[in-house]
Structure 1
Amino acid sequence: MNLQELLETFELLDQWDERYRVLIDLGRSLPAFPEEARTEDNRVEGCTSNVWLIHETTDDEPPRHVFRADSDAFIVKGLIAIVLMAYSGRTQEEIRGTDIRDIFTRLGLEQNLSPNRRDGFYAMVERIHELSGAQTQSA
């Protein structure tokens, strides 16, 4: 499933319970995460659950940023899947131009996740921006 298909699926689901099940299924579909990458250096700060995120770049021109992540919480794994759909395999410019807050709102997550999970979601996004060099420079 890609991000557009996910948005369309969520539009069809009226109940948060149904969306919650889709999120858990998305999390179950994450590729295996290497045990040796479950280190403090790869842990995302700001997440209540443990979240590990690793990054590599391709040799393409411009390079693409590939992310892999995992968590010890089912719903967070689903949120990771959304973040990876939005950012993994993208260039720095594409990452910078992705409006994750719009995606988050369109998926109905803004009103249905606890503040801690919401903060953790945005902590993952911030870490992706750091790793890819796509963070915006503030004056």
Structure 2
Amino acid sequence: MSIRPFRPEDQAAVIALWQACGLTRPWNDPVKDIERKRAEQPELLLVGEVDGRIVASAMVGYDGHRGWVNYLSVEPSLQGRGLGAALMRHIEALLLARGCPKLNLQVRQGNDAVLGFYARLGYGDDQVIGLGKRLIHDTPPDPS
């Protein structure tokens, strides 16, 4: 798998991948999420390709204190083959090169398969509670 920054023409394939992986939610407009990321550290919106086809992606950030990973996804038919681990190694190297001392991510409760994936990569429960507050309420995308 080759990993590179997102390009505008990748948008439909990336959103389809996120949907196939169950990452989208009605209250998050993926088009707006991509637009927002492209305005801040656009080089950290990544895609993974196999034979010219997007099969993985991740939205990465670094705020000077911690790195974050969102929307980590691998095409469901290719999961379990090391692509997600390769993408995470790439992300860790990018963040380490920026001087990032710690990487955080969030996993929805009950997603035991993903928790197992991250545990195998050395990630553990920090025993914190994630809090959130919506500052902008996106209108769900029109399905038509």
- Structure 1 length normalisation: TM-score? 0.32
Structure whose residues are more often helix by fraction: 1
